[in-house]
Structure 1
Amino acid sequence: MIVWTIELKANNMSFSFFNLWNLHLMEPAIFLLEFFVIGTIITFYVANKEFAKAITAFTQKTKQKDEIIKRNIKYALQIGRGDYSTNSDEQETDILGKSLTIMKQNLLRASEKEKELNWISKGRDMVSDILRLHNDLEKLTYEVLVNVINYGGFIQGAFYIYEEDKNILKNYATYAYNRKKYVSQEFKLGYGLIGQCAYEKDLIYRTEVPEEYATITSGILGDKKPGSILMVPLITDEKLYGVIELACIDNKMSQTTIDFVKELSDIIARTIFNLKINQKTKNLLDEARLMTEELKRNEELLTKNADDMKAAQEKLEEVNVNLEKKVQEVEQSQVRQQTLLLNASEVISIIDENGIVLYESPSVKSILGYDANEIIGKNAFGRMSSNEANKVKESFETLLKKPWETIVVEFKYIKGGNEEIWLETIGRNLINNPAIGGVLFNTRDITQRKIAEFEQRMRGQMQALSENSPDMILRLNLEGKFYYANSIVKKYIDLDIEAIIGNSLNDVEIDKNLVVFFSGIIEYIKSNNEKFESEFEFETVLGERVFLFNAIPEYDENTVLETILVVAHDITDRKHIENEIKDKNFKITESINYAYRIQSSILPNTDMLRHYFPESIILYKPKDVVSGDFPWIFKKGDNLFVAAVDCTGHGVPGALLSFIGYFILNNIVDHDRDISASEVLDLLHTKVRHTLKQDEEGSEARDGMDIALCKINFNKKELQYAGAHRPLYYISDSVLTEYKGDRKAIGGVVFKNKIEKNFTNYTVNYKENDRIYFFSDGFPDQVGGDDNKTKYSTRQLREFIEASTENMEEFGKEVNQEFLDWKKDNKQIDDILLFGIKLKH
């Protein structure tokens, strides 16, 4: 309208439809302007109407969203209260509803998993309690079998113990359908399902039960074959101790039930091992007790002999008073006897184990009165009277049973059919000597000695012992005068006995040092009135010799010190051996110390670990100078490899194996591509076997190593873990998670019929201040505690770590003190190695 008015006035035209039409013809732009205005109005109207519709739709959609949110809140509250029964499709129409449904399903699975783990833990605790209650193997196997069958829902089972000396598996307990069964079975390794399970050291689970397998007989079921069977080897420290066999009526066992039985394998095996060790210890204690009783009886016998000797000495003094008139006769008899002893000839006889004479020396003619040919090839005891023959036969049989003994026998013999003589024979078993091949008897005529029986009684047991002793025996008084010397003295001093007896120390031509030594013995016993013992070296006919001198004070009837009995035992050879042993020990010790310096120079320590992780510790306590356990650290790019390695054995053997492991690990990580933690263990396993030639046919070398290995990537904040028999404890937000290592070692003999699995690789994305712990088996296996017999155990170490401080330096002090408090004064039984690391970016 405004445009029309302005244009009409500009052209001096009045307002009319005609003038408006002419104006439009004159100014066509007015048409465009009018069309624009009208179009704008129409557009505004349409847009306003669509906006109103949009507002209405938005309001409805908002209301629907509110309803969905309310339903989701109600659904989340039900899940939070543990009510997992709600399952409506409406909940899955939006992202939040779907997420809540997924969360519910995860929580439900976690709840079921927790129930399974609790069930397994409860069963394991039940079996552990049974294991602690029983020391008898048969009762233990039966109680364990019954409780496992009842707890696990099995209907029958059997318990087999591996008897290593016989290489068989023996049935110790059988239980079926709530009844004890008395079954006697034995399996060799590799024979039958039981033997196969033991040989492969792996469980056997079958749902296709052989036709010949035992059936179940009951009033309800009748005769029914089990639907499934499970055989689990009882193994600890890679060593077999038995097999447990279980059967179920169902065609399939739950995985939880199988895991439960597998969990029991190690604790049952360790208990069987401990029971066997305890039984061996008991047997050794019984043997020690019997030996103690035997020693006590021998001590009583020696006391009785001493009393008899004292009585004989008293009798000797009494007889001396009554026989003064016959001294000359006794002296002549003594000279005659000495002459006979020095000049007597012997009969040498060799008799086989059947009592047949193999050889007789020609001297038998003059001593026994017959030719040697008359007895060779005949019974050795045929010419004796029955009583005397039985006495010699008894000694002969004793020599056959106890070939290490030497036996002396005295017996009567009728010479020439009418002359009775006394013979003494010394027997030694030389059957195993190729040059002799029989029992050797040296026989001599002791008739004259028997005739001088009075002389023998006077000298008593002391002279008999001294004459046959390999030691020098002398008796001298407090002034140094010799009263007695046995014949062995001449062997070393080269003086006749007559030149010694009756003379004093200063009158006898012996080593001056020996004179001084004897004088010292006399002064010591006079002052202390007690036995004297000392080693002394002096020059003899045989050269410089070392003797162990024992000087025993002797008293008269009034307990007054009268004489000193000196017994000198030649220990030269023993001292030489001792010196050689000391020298060898010194050289061995030097070699071990050098090996220690080499090992210490290449192995990392806590300082090296703290270069990468300032809050970390390494507890390292070798059992011996060198160790079979060793820490290993290797940095490559953004990755840091850290491992605790436990080689077979400890000391020098373990250290040698540790060098192999150390350099193979370095070679794998340094030269190979960027590999995972499990791939490192797979390569280490193969290369250790190759290095120790365990992959060759017929190899029996079972040496190897356990290991816990971590690969830490700083940029990705990623931790990889793989283990051989060793776990990793990972603590994040005060929650401990255990990553178990695989149940196989690095290295060992290859089993052809067993397919080996690769090591498991665990990957964790860690956070700042998360902590990891891994260790060898030295700490858990340490014996100590209140009874000094209990092992520390992996469970106890886990509880200690779980409750420990986050400060790694304090933890290092506490764990070291924990070990010392547990070990007390007991011997450290293995190398100790433990890592504790607080992870940083």
Structure 2
Amino acid sequence: TLFTLALGERTSRSLMRAKDELEDRVLERTRELEDSENRIRSIIENAVDGIIVIGEKGIVESFSPAAEAIFGYAVDDVVGQNISMLMPKRDALEHDGHLSRYLETGEGPVVGRTSEVVGQRRNGEEFPMDLAVGVAYLGDEQIYTGIVRDITQRKEAEDALARSEERTRRLLESVGEGVFGVDTSGKITFANPAVVEILGYSVEEMLGQNSHTLFHHHRSDGAGYPEEECSMFKSLQTGEAYRVDDEVFWRKDGVSVEVEYHSTPIRKDDEVIGAVLAFADVSERKEAQRQLAEAEERARLLLESVGEGVFGVDLEGRMTFVNPQVETMLGYSTDDMIGEKAHALFHHTRADGSNYPVEECWMFKSFTFGDSYRIDDEVLWRKDGSPLEIEYNATPIRRGDELIGAVISFSDISARKEAERKLQDAFDVIAGSIQYASRIQKSILPDPAFMASTLDDHFVLWKPRDVVGGDIYWCEPWAGGALVIMADCTGHGVPGAFMTLIASGALGMAKVGVMPGDVAKLVQQMHQIVQSSLGQDTETGESDDGLELGACLVSGDGHTMTFVGARFDLFVVEDGRVDITKGTRKGIGYRGIPHSQKYESYTLDLKEGQTFYMTSDGLIDQVGWERRHGFGKKRFKKLLLDIQSEAMPDQKERVYQSLRTHQGDEPRRDDVSVIGFRARKGGGAGTRGTRAKRRFVLDDQLRVGFGEIDGDHAKLFELIENFEESIRAQDHDEMALNLKELFGYTIWHFSHEEQLMRDTEYPLFEQHLQEHEALKTTVTEIKQKFEDGDDQILAGVPDILRDWVVSHIQRVDKLLGRFLAATMEKPD
């Protein structure tokens, strides 16, 4: 019917509208799902952490760009592969088993939590990472999403922090001071073992407690100590550091401890987050200060009422003068005391009645060792046998540089101040004398003109760190050739310079007592002389000083060179390479080296084109400013090769400039010395001819600048020449006559010099005298053997004498000549 048709049409239109609406909703939902997928994909692709999706069998289904960066694999290399490829083998073998157990039981070691595991990059490198695994379900299948983060830097930071904390803990445990920290409210955050030991609280009892309330609550007099007045509290409030030396902490048992403490704020950025307190128990020091104050008060009262006793002693401890107060206080008259030994008369027994050995007496030590002492707990014994408790000062007396006795003043504490002023004056004198010491040291170095006459092609770089130094070198004729030595003594500045004087004297004496040419024996003899000079060959000697040296003796014919090193190396440049001839690994002197130490000798055949170098360790050990590495032997060897084509003076400048460039702004650490010379086959290191007949004239190189001594030396050379002529002639009677005349004149000349030194109070008299005595001993032995019928003993003696005289003039007599010239010119 018409009604039925109309109803059907309306129903059809409704269904069409419903279909259109459904299609619109489906399309909208599809767009929403695409937008969602795009957002998820964007999140995955831009996530900092790596995101990996795997299926139930461990096969990788998704591998994010961050994961690519972490593991080093491209996505196509990983997707479709087992996840175990990203693990070390030891973990990969177990992974599938863990996955199977989770599927069966729902339990696994990493699912549902963040774990720290080890991953493996494409290049095989293992690295730590955080791994968080979540599970999702797609129908009946489970998928696993892993979030990975490379924590290598974090682990390194944690390890560094742990090491730093361990070092800090050990440091805090090892220091003797108490150290604790507080937060901004004053509560203790840490305390080292010294705090526990000093205050008696355990660490557990202190942590979290307010330090002021716990052990800083009262002042030393028992009055309350408000926290706002406490310097520790102020440090937290003001952010400033404070030092306090007159307060107390209170131990757990209620006893006060006198302390000195430093309070330093701890900052993070610009914010004060706490403070660290370091304190020391100064109870004993405070008690000593109180006792000292009481003693000074007693001394003051005593001095005001009766004055002080003062007496002097000579080097034997005999009294040379006393003042009236000594008579009054001890009961002896002046006649009773003058000329008597003070220790034996009234200082022989300790306060407890025990014997007081004189060698332990501080008065004795004062005039024996030249030091000042202050003692406040001894007694002197009155004439009636009763003890007198005293405090005294013992101060050495000097005339110029000569120790002549000591002065003792008791009950007068002002003497200590006077001793300090005298000590300061002594330092000022020393400081003012350093320039003079420099002139003395330079004067014992080889004369450049003399070196030029001995060595043809050479350079010497000598740069003390201070005005004077501990490096020294010698170049002297010996055994018909040229002896070149470089030495590096312990210390620098004035101590090092003193050691160079000892070394110079040792060389002179050693040359007298050693067969010419035996370099190893010469070095051994120097070692023994230095040890004896410094008392190192006895148990009582205190010095542990010494030197290292290298000695080269170029033969007169120029064919060979002998090298002996005492912890010293010889650098030999030849045919584009640098070889090192190492010396014996023992120095000269020092307490730990045997007195009989032997030194190995090396003989080198000289060839055309060879160059030789010796250097002190000041060059090799100098630290550079840029990388703080030493200059080093490797750099030195390369430098030597680079400069071989240059003249020796230019080589010297190159070596020095290389050192300065390497050093930069870094301070010089030591003296620097380098010697370089070239060998010339048939002529040695430039030795000037042979010694077939050596005639000496007193030229500028050998004049000392004082007429009387220069005249003696000219006569001495003449007598040596006459003696040599008689030996060539093999005339026994003439040899005997010339030897007697030479010996007698030498003795007279030595006596003449020694009298001049005594008259002018020459400061190096003892060293000069030792060299004289050594030569006299050697010549006496030769003379005696000749008189016993051994004519052959005289062979080579003229050369020995000439070498000794030339060396002695260069090293010793020139010093004396300058001193005498300056002294004798002064008006009376």
Q: Same-fold call, TM > 0.5?
A: no
TM-score, normalization: structure 1?
A: 0.33
Bigger Cα Rg: 1
TM-score by length of 2: 0.33
**Which one has more relative contact order, counting CA pairs under 8 Å at least 6 apart?**
2
